[in-house]
Amino acid sequence: MSLSDPFVIGSGLPVPPPLWPRSTSTTRIENDADAIRVAQLLAAHLKQNAAAREQSDHFPLEELNQYSSSGLWGITVPRSHGGAGVSYATLGTVVQTIAAADGALAQIAQNHWAAVAVIASCGTENQKEELFGLILDGKRCGNAFSERGNKTLTDLKTQLVREGDHVIITGKKYYCTGALAADLVPIVAVDDQGLAWLAIADRNTEGLTVLNDWSAFGQRQTGSGTVLLENVKVPVTRVIPAWKSYLPDTPRPDSAISQFIQAAIDGGIAQGALDETVSFVKTRTRAWIDSHQDHAHEDPYTHHILGGLFARLSACRALLDVAGKTIDAALIHATPDTVAAAQIATAEAKIFTTELAIEATNRLFELAGTAATDTRYNLDRYWRNARTHTLHDPVRWKYAIVGDYYLNGAFPPLHAWS
C-alpha cells in the first residue's frame, strides 16, 4: 500500500472530501427499539472483520459508510424535526453495542452526536431545519474542536471574524475525530470577546484541509488528525452560539452528553474484551496444571475474576442507563440543578467504564494465557483502544467533582470536558 494514498493511516497527506450523494441512501430509524435492533445487526457485521481491519493501514471508509447509512447517526435528531428523538439511555446502548464490535468506528460518530446536541440546544429554528435535514439525509459531522500547544484545553487560539454574511476562520486543530470522512465540519472558534461559537463548514470549503496524520497506537482508525483552517468562510446562518450552553444561570447538558458518549464507548470496549476472553478461554486456553481440571473454563480462579468483571460490566450498564435518563430529564427541564445532576451521573458512569475498560483488556491476557498474545488474533487492540480512548479526559478529576458535589454541594465546572 503506497503512502501516496491519502487514506493510508498516518500518511500525513490531505484527504479529499467524501463523495456526495453516496451510493447507498440513509435509512430513517423511527424509534428506540429500531435503533437498538439496527445497532445489534450492524455490530454483528462489523465484528466479523474487526481484528483484520484494525491491523490494516487503511482508513475504514466502506464500514463507515455502512455505519452512517444505517440511520444511527440521525437517531438523536428531535422528532419535531423528523428524527427518532431517541432517549440518551437508548443512545448509550447503541454506542456500547457498536464499541464492543469496533471501538474506533464507535468513536468516529461521537462528535457527530455531540454536534447534534449543540444544534438542538443553541441553534435557531432555521438552523435546526437545515442542519437536521442534512443529517437525516445522511451527512456526517466531524470535529475541529481541540488544539495543541495551548495552556489549557479551553484556551483556544482559533478565531472567527465577521465579514458581511460570513465569518472568516483561521487556525489549526488536532484530535479531529471524524473530520477525515465528514461532510460537515463543526469548528469551535472564539470571537473578540472570547466566546466560543460552533461554525459548521462544508467539508469542501476552500481553505479547509484535513490531514491524515493520526499516529496513536490505539483507536488507530478514527482518523483523529489535523484540520488546517486558512481564511475559511462559513455563512453566518451556520454559526451557532455554543457558549450559551455554559451560562451558569441557564446551562444545558451538552457537556454531560459529550462525556456520556465517551463513557459508553469505554463500556463497549470492556464488553468486547470480556466477550473475547470468554471465547478464548473456552476454545483455546489450557487448564493450569495445579487446577487439576481438564479445561481452562473449569478453573475456579478464572470463575472468580470473570465473575467480578462481569458484575462490574453490569454496574457500568446500569450507571450509563441512569446517566442517560438524567440527561433526558435535564433536556426536558434544564436548570443549574438538573444539569449538574446529569454531569455527576455521567461522571460516576465514566469512573466505572474507564477503570473497567483498562482492567478487562488487561485481564484478557492473564486469563487467556500466552497464546492470546499471538499477533494473528490482534487481541491487544482492545487494550490499546481502551488505554488511548480513556485518556480523553482524566478520570481522577471525575472522582474530584463527584466528591465535591456530595460533600460540599459544589456543581461541576461548565465546559465540554466536565
pLDDT of residue 362: 98
pLDDT of residue 127: 98
Lowest mean pLDDT among 28-42, 141-155, 224-238: 141-155
What kind of architecture, by CATH, is found in domain 254-408? Up-down Bundle (1.20)
CA distances from 399 to 251, 347, 391, 412 (A): 22, 8, 15, 11
Digit-coded pLDDT (tens) for 181-205: 999 999 999 999 999 999 999 999 9
Sheet containing 166-173: give its strands across: 208-211, 226-235, 166-173, 159-163, 184-190, 196-202, 239-240
Can you spell out the DSSP letters for 112-139?
A: HHHHHHHHHHH--HHHHHHHHHHHHTTP
- With beta carbons less than 8 A apart as the criterion, state whether 38 and 71 touch: yes
Digit-coded pLDDT (tens) for 69-113: 999 999 999 999 999 999 999 999 999 999 999 999 999 999 999
| Mean pLDDT score of the chain | 97
Digit-coded pLDDT (tens) for 293-303: 999 999 999 99
pLDDT at residue 50 above 80?
yes
Residue 333: which residues within 8 A CB-CB, separation 6 or more?
Answer: none
Report the amino acid identity of residue 43: A
Buried b (16+ CB within 10 A) or exposed e, 271-282: bbbbbbbbebbe
Reduce the DSSP state of residue 144 to 3 states and report it. Answer: strand
Buried b (16+ CB within 10 A) or exposed e, 244-254: bbbeeeebbbb
Around Cβ 338, how many Cβ atoms within 10 Å? 18
Digit-coded pLDDT (tens) for 326-370: 999 999 999 999 999 999 999 999 999 999 999 999 999 999 999
Mean pLDDT of 43-56: 97
Query: Of the CATH numbers 2.40.110.10, 3.90.1150.10, 3.30.1950.10, 2.60.420.10, which one belongs to the domain with range 159-244?
Result: 2.40.110.10
pLDDT at residue 2 above 90?
no
- The helix (run of H) or strand (run of E) holding residue 307 is helix 300-332
Between CA 263 and CA 310 the distance in angstroms is: 17
Between CA 344 and CA 412 the distance in angstroms is: 7
pLDDT confidence band for 1 (50 / 70 / 90):
very low
Half-sphere exposure of residue 33: CA atoms within 13 angstroms, side-chain side: 0
Between CA 390 and CA 382 the distance in angstroms is: 12
- With beta carbons less than 8 A apart as the criterion, state whether 64 and 221 touch: no
pLDDT confidence band for 265 (50 / 70 / 90):
very high
Nearest CA-CA partner of 380 in 396, 362, 398, 395: 362
pLDDT confidence band for 4 (50 / 70 / 90):
confident
Compute, in degrees rounded to 10, the torsion defined by CA atoms 203, 209, 212, 216: -100
pLDDT of residue 3: 56
Digit-coded pLDDT (tens) for 359-406: 999 999 999 999 999 999 999 999 999 999 999 989 999 999 999 999
Between CA 52 and CA 66 the distance in angstroms is: 17
Peptide bond into 241 cis (omega under 30): no
pLDDT at residue 155 above 60?
yes
Between CA 71 and CA 86 the distance in angstroms is: 12
Report the amino acid identity of residue 300: P
| Cα angle 207, 210, 215; round to 5 | 150
Query: Of the CATH numbers 1.10.260.40, 1.10.540.10, 3.30.460.80, 1.10.10.10, which one belongs to the domain with range 32-136?
Result: 1.10.540.10
Buried b (16+ CB within 10 A) or exposed e, 345-384: bbbbbbbbbbbbbbbbbebbbebbeeebeeeeeebbbbbb
Digit-coded pLDDT (tens) for 52-79: 999 999 999 999 999 999 999 999 999 9
Quote the pTM value: 0.97
Q: What are the residue ranges spanned by the domains of the chain? A: 32-136, 159-244, 254-408
User: Can you say whether the dihedral through the CA atoms of 157, 161, 165, 166 is positive or negative?
Assistant: negative
Between CA 418 and CA 398 the distance in angstroms is: 8
DSSP for residue 193: T
pLDDT of residue 154: 87
